[in-house]
Amino acid sequence: MRSGSLNTAGHAAALGRPLGAVPGPVTSATSTGCHRLLREFDAVCVTNADEMAELVLGPADPAPAEARRDPEQGRLLDALSSRPRPVEELARHSGLSLAAVRSALGLLELEGLVEETPAGWRRA
């Protein structure tokens, strides 16, 4: 019921850090600390590695990146090929403004989906 681990957990909770506890048998004296964390410190009950990862990293996003992609980025990706194309040509093929193409290219480059060459932009 009293331990350095509980003291550390209390500090973590006060700092807003994720706090998890693995429950034990309610009849066991060695489980009282974990049960106290669950009861008094709003710790999350953790029973497997996936739950621990979710606690630390947050819930997994089930939607693939393509499903979350901006429609303009999708149009631009459709206009790209393995052959480098200048921004003006990409704007014509995608039906987007030059500013929209430049903006989307920057975001797609950060994702590693496109790359700039001396001759223009292409899929990475």
Residue 61, amino acid: D
For 97, residues 6+ apart whose C-beta sits below 8 A from its C-beta are 91
Q: Tens of pLDDT along 76-99?
A: 998 998 899 999 999 999 999 999
51 and 74 share one domain: no
53 and 69 share one domain: no
77 and 44 share one domain: no
Q: What's the structural domain count of the chain?
A: 2
Mean pLDDT of the chain: 86
Q: Tens of pLDDT along 11-48?
A: 887 777 888 899 899 899 888 888 888 888 888 899 99
User: Which structural domain, as residue segments, surrounds residue 93?
Assistant: 65-123
Q: Are 96 and 72 in contact (CB under 8 A)?
A: yes
Phi-psi region for residue 13, left (φ > 0), alpha (ψ -120 to 50) or beta? alpha
Which pTM value belongs to this model?
0.48
21 and 39 share one domain: yes
115 and 70 share one domain: yes
53 and 77 share one domain: no
36 and 71 share one domain: no
**Of the residues 57, 81, 100, the one at which a domain ends:** 57
45 and 84 share one domain: no
- CATH number of the domain within which 104 lies: 1.10.10.10
